[in-house]
Amino acid sequence: DSGVTQTPKHLITATGQRVTLRCSPRSGDLSVYWYQQSLDQGLQFLIQYYNGEERAKGNILERFSAQQFPDLHSELNLSSLELGDSALYFCASSVRPSLGADTQYFGPGTRLTVL
């Protein structure tokens, strides 16, 4: 158990819908990262937050957005869902991006299925 929690574990929804994925980082970690894992694209970095502020953006679609709240939990919002958005979405957390080893610890993931 990494200490990172994600809810829900599974999500099944229809095309065109909107969903919210939630992540709570490890105690003491200020940075949160979101990743998408699919068979064809592999593990793709989406976005990073540090202490409530957006720090870096990766291959995140405009239909997707995220935020980190004052209590440091984060939410990833996916809207106008398409079949191709079906994937495993991971949240990871670390203490601080440039501090030493700064290992990212991954949560259990949310498996999203869009029908």
Contact yes or no for 25/73 (Cβ under 8 A): yes
Q: What φ, ψ does residue 42 adopt, rounded to 5°?
A: 70, -150
Note whether 13 binds another protein by CB under 8 A.
Answer: no
Note whether 104 binds another protein by CB under 8 A.
Answer: yes
Note whether 25 binds another protein by CB under 8 A.
Answer: no
Q: Two tokens at 36?
A: 């998408």
Task: Give the integer Cα–Cα distance in Å for 54 and 109.
Answer: 21
For residue 57, the minimal CB distance to another protein (Å) is 9
The sign of the CA dihedral 84, 85, 88, 93 is positive
Helix, coil or strand: residue 77: strand
Note whether 39 binds another protein by CB under 8 A.
Answer: no
| Among 27, 28, 42, 53, interactor with another protein by CB under 8 A | 42
For residue 80, the minimal CB distance to another protein (Å) is 25
Using CB under 8 A, which residues numbered 43 to 102 contact another protein? 43, 45, 48, 55-56, 58, 90, 92, 97-98, 100-102
Q: Two tokens at 17?
A: 């819908």
Q: Which residues of the chain form contacts with another protein (CB under 8 A)?
A: 2, 33, 42-43, 45, 48, 55-56, 58, 90, 92, 97-98, 100-109
